[in-house]
């Protein structure tokens, strides 16, 4: 905008220009939003995590007390371990299901793949709340279809709601089911980018489909796999709405995950400072996950 | 349907060498391979489709039939009473309008802002643009759920509590959106920009007249994604909104679930109604989602 075309035409090989005003105008809105809704909350969150702020009125700095209390708080530990357990179950299950779905959909031998792809994708369109409601309806202890079928087949009613571990398992199923569509799209894009000639060469050498999958597809889509694991780990760590609709973090408080813990302490009990400290612990976990991912990814790519 | 992207041969038939075209009839050992692949595909599709189907069929049953044994798959007396009760009671129509307003405004803003940012990141080379790129990358690691309390305080201090602006503005900046546009504009040849500059076009005019029309498919893809994100948002609207007249659909459904005795007839009706807009949008525009290289937006 500031420099006219004549400057540029003098040096045609330059691929990008070094204009400053135009890009500044273009990113201005996002810079403002970034400052307002990411930098500002992050800074005051860090500050409040060292205070006893309750959301209104004056507050005092209490040093590391919040963090100290947090690590002595068994409710926080329960929420943290439950969240990690959920992530450990959800991420691999979703990964396997999505990869299977993607491979079946791109398989030229499978008939009706385009319809099936839509079927796989529809659960992703449902909101986490509706997903929770839907699986609550399926897995209701006294009225659900699943228990009905189990009883018809001669089994006893399974306590999907009143057993904490089974209840968590239902959420894992529900979330994996709901997220398959999106993850599958990522995998489909990656699988389609694998050069066809690799498979042709492999089949000439007599490699079967399974062998080709292990030796060609999996290594070729490794970068996408890392992104999928990273995104899904983040999604799992911040999960809340599916739980709230499916079992409300229950039975009791056994399935309260970290975000629910932060929500309850911060907004129901008004301990903003304490909740901010919990938020920062969650943030550190996410950053650690991201950094580990980056290191592993780099090491694999450099191999 | 997405006929544009042909399924690529994953396990090429050893007998048939280098035929790039998709065979209409699987010859030779084709049938032997087609049966297991198709069977597995459809077993899995059934597992994914059946929960939704059961949910929708249940919602058509009258309240008295919902729990009557034996359970029947097809409703004997199909009725829309659950839907009607849900729509009339509990302000559901109001929630629907609120959610639509929020979604449409946020989506328009997200697409516009992401397009500008993506273009700047792709076509200009500056040190601080690179810094901003990393900043945006950082936002994917810091979802708003992580900073619920401080973000709430910020929005409250801005005077946006209990207003739609309080839900809309924090949601406009999305890393996925910016990266999708950046990735797209990287594929647009720089010569196009250079040629326009030589013709004397101003920088912003190049963007508005040439680049924005080019990026229309990406706009649609992001619009659909953004609409889905915002339609399904739960926790942030729940924190922001205090006035029941401003509630969104998801809060409305959750308030039915949270009741002491769940009214399943109304709950099923309300849930199915809330699913309809997204499914319709998806079925109409599905090729923009399905054929989109969404990976491009998230990678890099």
Taking 80 as the threshold, does the pLDDT of residue B1 lie above it?
Answer: no
* Residues of chain A with C-beta less than 8 angstroms from the C-beta of B158: 36
From the list A26, A111, A148, the residue facing B119 with the nearest CB is A26
Interface confidence (ipTM) of the complex: 0.82
Question: Is A18 or B57 the better-scoring residue by pLDDT?
Answer: B57
Taking 80 as the threshold, does the pLDDT of residue A134 lie above it?
Answer: yes
Taking 80 as the threshold, does the pLDDT of residue A250 lie above it?
Answer: no
Nearest CA in chain A to B40: A104
Mean pLDDT for the stretch of residues B126-137: 88
- Tell me which residue has tokens 């599905």: B286
Residue B8's pLDDT is: 41
Best CA proximity match to B288, nearest among B230, B227, B231 = B227
- For A17-31, A124-138, B125-139, B167-181, which range has the lowest pLDDT when averaged over its residues? A17-31
Q: In this structure, are residues B118 and B177 in contact, taking their beta carbons and an 8 Å threshold?
A: yes
What is the number of CB-based contacts under 8 A between chain A and chain B?
A: 359
Tell me the CATH number at A288: 1.10.3720.10
Query: How does pLDDT run across A159-169, given as a tens digit for each residue?
Result: 888 888 899 99
Query: How does pLDDT run across B139-165, given as a tens digit for each residue?
Result: 877 777 778 888 888 998 899 998 999
Contact B11 A203 (CB under 8 A): yes
**CA torsion through residues B196, B199, B204, B205, sign:** negative
Q: What is the per-residue DSSP string for B114-154?
A: HHHHHHHHHHB--HHHHHHHHHHHHHHHS-GGGGHHHHHHH
- Euclidean distance between the first and the last CA atom of chain A, given in angstroms as a whole number: 45
Query: How does pLDDT run across A275-288, given as a tens digit for each residue?
Result: 888 888 888 888 88
Contact B41 A104 (CB under 8 A): yes
Mean pLDDT for the stretch of residues A179-196: 89
Query: How does pLDDT run across A75-133, given as a tens digit for each residue?
Result: 888 899 999 999 999 999 999 999 999 999 988 888 888 889 899 999 999 999 999 99
- Determine the Cα–Cα distance for residues A3 and A25; give it in Å rounded to an integer: 15
- Shortest Cα distance, chain B CAs vs residue A284, angstroms: 10
- Determine the Cα–Cα distance for residues B110 and B167; give it in Å rounded to an integer: 13
- Determine the Cα–Cα distance for residues B244 and B210; give it in Å rounded to an integer: 45
From the list A135, A145, A276, the residue facing B71 with the nearest CB is A145
* Residues of chain B with C-beta less than 8 angstroms from the C-beta of A209: 10-11, 33
* Residues of chain B with C-beta less than 8 angstroms from the C-beta of A1: 202-204
Residue A195 falls inside a structural domain = yes
Residue B15's pLDDT is: 41
Q: How confident is the model at residue B120 (pLDDT cuts 50, 70, 90)?
A: very high
Residue A303's pLDDT is: 62
Residue A86's pLDDT is: 93
- Euclidean distance between the first and the last CA atom of chain B, given in angstroms as a whole number: 29
Sequence spans of domains, chain B: 1-49, 86-298
Contact B34 A44 (CB under 8 A): no
Best CA proximity match to A88, nearest among A1, A25, A16, A175 = A175
Best CA proximity match to A96, nearest among A242, A245, A213, A248 = A213
CA torsion angle for A115, B276, B115, A187 (degrees, to 10)?
Answer: -30
Nearest CA in chain B to A48: B150
CA torsion angle for A280, A285, A287, A291 (degrees, to 10)?
Answer: 160
- Determine the Cα–Cα distance for residues A237 and B145; give it in Å rounded to an integer: 10
Taking 50 as the threshold, does the pLDDT of residue B188 lie above it?
Answer: yes
Q: In this structure, are residues A172 and A90 in contact, taking their beta carbons and an 8 Å threshold?
A: yes
For B193, phi and psi rounded to 5 degrees? Answer: -65, -45
How would you class A239 by CB atoms within 10 Å of its CB: exposed for 0-12, middle for 13-18, buried for 19 or more? buried
Residue B88 token pair: 């009339």
H or E segment and range at residue A199: helix A196-204
Which of A34, A87, A107, A109 should be substituted to probe chain B, the one whose Cβ sees the most B Cβ atoms within 10 Å? Answer: A109
B positions 129-168 inside 8 Å of A (CB): 129, 132, 135-136, 138-155, 158
Contact B44 A272 (CB under 8 A): no
Query: How does pLDDT run across A254-300, given as a tens digit for each residue?
Result: 888 888 888 888 888 888 888 888 888 888 888 888 888 778 877 77
Give me the domain span that covers residue A159.
72-302
Residue A84's pLDDT is: 93
Cβ neighbors of A210 (< 8 A, separation 6 or more) are none
Q: What is the per-residue DSSP string for A58-127?
A: ---B-TTHHHHHHHH-HHHHHHHHHHHHHHHHHHHHHHHHHHHHHHHHH-TTSTTHHHHHHHHHHHHHS-
Residue B293's pLDDT is: 59
Nearest CA in chain B to A263: B148
Contact B197 A9 (CB under 8 A): yes
* Residues of chain A with C-beta less than 8 angstroms from the C-beta of B190: 15-16
Total count of domains within chain A: 1
Taking 50 as the threshold, does the pLDDT of residue A13 lie above it?
Answer: no
Nearest CA in chain B to A268: B239
Helix (H, G, I), strand (E, B) or coil at A17: strand
Residue A22 falls inside a structural domain = no
- Percent of chain A exceeding pLDDT 70 equals 93
Question: Is A31 or A64 the better-scoring residue by pLDDT?
Answer: A31
Taking 80 as the threshold, does the pLDDT of residue B212 lie above it?
Answer: yes
- Shortest Cα distance, chain B CAs vs residue A26, angstroms: 5
- Determine the Cα–Cα distance for residues A24 and B139; give it in Å rounded to an integer: 20
Q: What is the per-residue DSSP string for A253-298?
A: TTT--HHHHHHIIIIIS--HHHHHHHHHHHHHHHHHHHHHHHHHHH
- Determine the Cα–Cα distance for residues B287 and B267; give it in Å rounded to an integer: 32
Residue A99 falls inside a structural domain = yes
Contact A105 B5 (CB under 8 A): no
Alpha-carbon distances, residue A142 vs A13, A111, A148, A172, B109 (angstroms): 73, 38, 8, 21, 46
**CA torsion through residues A26, A27, A33, A35, sign:** negative
From the list A110, A189, A267, the residue facing B294 with the nearest CB is A189
Contact A109 B203 (CB under 8 A): no
Contact A199 B10 (CB under 8 A): yes
**Within an 8 Å CB–CB cutoff, is residue B191 touching chain A?**
no
CATH of B86-298, one of 1.10.3720.10, 3.40.50.920, 3.30.70.120, 1.10.287.130: 1.10.3720.10
- Shortest Cα distance, chain A CAs vs residue B294, angstroms: 6
- Percent of chain B exceeding pLDDT 90 equals 24
Residue B90's pLDDT is: 64
Cβ neighbors of A13 (< 8 A, separation 6 or more) are none
């Amino acid at each position: 905008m500031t420099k006219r075309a004549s400057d540029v035409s003098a040096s045609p090989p330059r691929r990008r220009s070094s204009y400053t005003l135009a890009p500044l105008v273009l990113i201005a809105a996002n810079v403002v939003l970034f400052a307002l809704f990411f930098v500002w909350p992050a800074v005051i969150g860090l500050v409040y995590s060292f205070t006893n702020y309750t959301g209104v009125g004056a507050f005092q700095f209490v040093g590391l007390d919040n963090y100290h209390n947090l690590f002595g708080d068994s409710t926080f530990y329960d929420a943290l371990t439950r969240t990690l357990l959920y992530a450990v179950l959800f991420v691999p299950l979703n990964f396997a299901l999505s990869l299977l779905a993607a491979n079946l959909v791109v398989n030229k031998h499978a008939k009706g793949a385009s319809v099936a792809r839509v079927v796989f994708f529809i659960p992703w369109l449902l909101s986490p709340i509706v997903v929770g409601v839907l699986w609550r309806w399926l897995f209701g202890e006294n009225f659900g279809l699943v228990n009905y079928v189990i009883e018809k087949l001669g089994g006893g009613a399974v306590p999907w709601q009143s057993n904490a571990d089974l209840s968590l398992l239902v959420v894992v199923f529900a979330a994996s089911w709901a997220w398959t569509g999106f993850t599958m799209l990522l995998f489909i894009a990656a699988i389609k980018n694998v050069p066809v000639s690799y498979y042709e060469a492999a089949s000439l050498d007599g490699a079967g489909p399974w062998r080709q999958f292990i030796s060609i597809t999996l290594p070729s889509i490794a970068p996408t796999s890392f992104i999928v694991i990273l995104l899904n780990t983040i999604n799992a760590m911040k999960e809340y709405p599916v739980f709230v609709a499916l079992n409300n973090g229950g039975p009791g408080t056994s399935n309260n995950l970290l975000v629910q813990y932060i929500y309850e302490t911060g907004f129901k009990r008004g301990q903003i400072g304490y909740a901010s400290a919990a938020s920062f612990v969650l943030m550190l976990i996410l950053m650690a996950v991201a950094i580990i991912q980056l290191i592993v990814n780099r090491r694999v790519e450099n191999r | 349907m997405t006929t544009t992207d042909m399924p690529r041969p994953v396990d090429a038939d050893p007998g048939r060498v280098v035929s790039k075209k998709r065979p209409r009839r699987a010859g030779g050992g084709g049938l032997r391979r087609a049966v297991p692949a198709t069977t597995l595909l459809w077993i899995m599709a059934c597992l994914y489709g059946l929960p939704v189907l059961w949910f929708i069929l249940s919602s058509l049953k009258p309240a008295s039939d919902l729990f009557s044994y034996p359970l029947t798959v097809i409703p004997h007396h199909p009725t829309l009473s659950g839907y009607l009760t849900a729509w009339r009671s509990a302000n559901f129509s109001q929630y629907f309008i609120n959610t639509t307003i929020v979604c449409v405004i946020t989506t328009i803003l997200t697409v516009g802002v992401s397009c500008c940012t993506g273009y700047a990141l792709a076509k200009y080379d500056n040190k601080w643009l690179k810094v901003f790129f990393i900043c945006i990358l950082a936002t994917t690691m810091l979802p708003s759920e992580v900073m619920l309390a401080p973000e709430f305080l910020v929005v409250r201090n801005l005077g946006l509590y209990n207003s739609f602006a309080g839900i809309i503005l924090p949601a406009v900046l999305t890393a996925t959106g910016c990266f999708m546009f950046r990735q797209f504009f990287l594929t647009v040849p720089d010569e196009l920009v250079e040629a326009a500059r030589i013709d004397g076009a101003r920088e912003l005019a190049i963007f508005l007249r040439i680049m924005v029309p080019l990026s229309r498919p990406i706009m649609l893809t992001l619009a659909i994604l953004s609409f889905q994100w915002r339609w399904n948002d739960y926790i942030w609207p729940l924190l922001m909104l205090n006035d029941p007249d401003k509630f969104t659909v998801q809060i409305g459904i959750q308030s039915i679930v949270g009741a002491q005795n769940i009214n399943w007839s109304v709950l099923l009706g309300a849930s199915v109604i809330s699913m309809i807009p997204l499914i319709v949008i998806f079925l109409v525009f599905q090729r923009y989602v399905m054929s989109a290289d969404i990976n491009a937006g998230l990678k890099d």
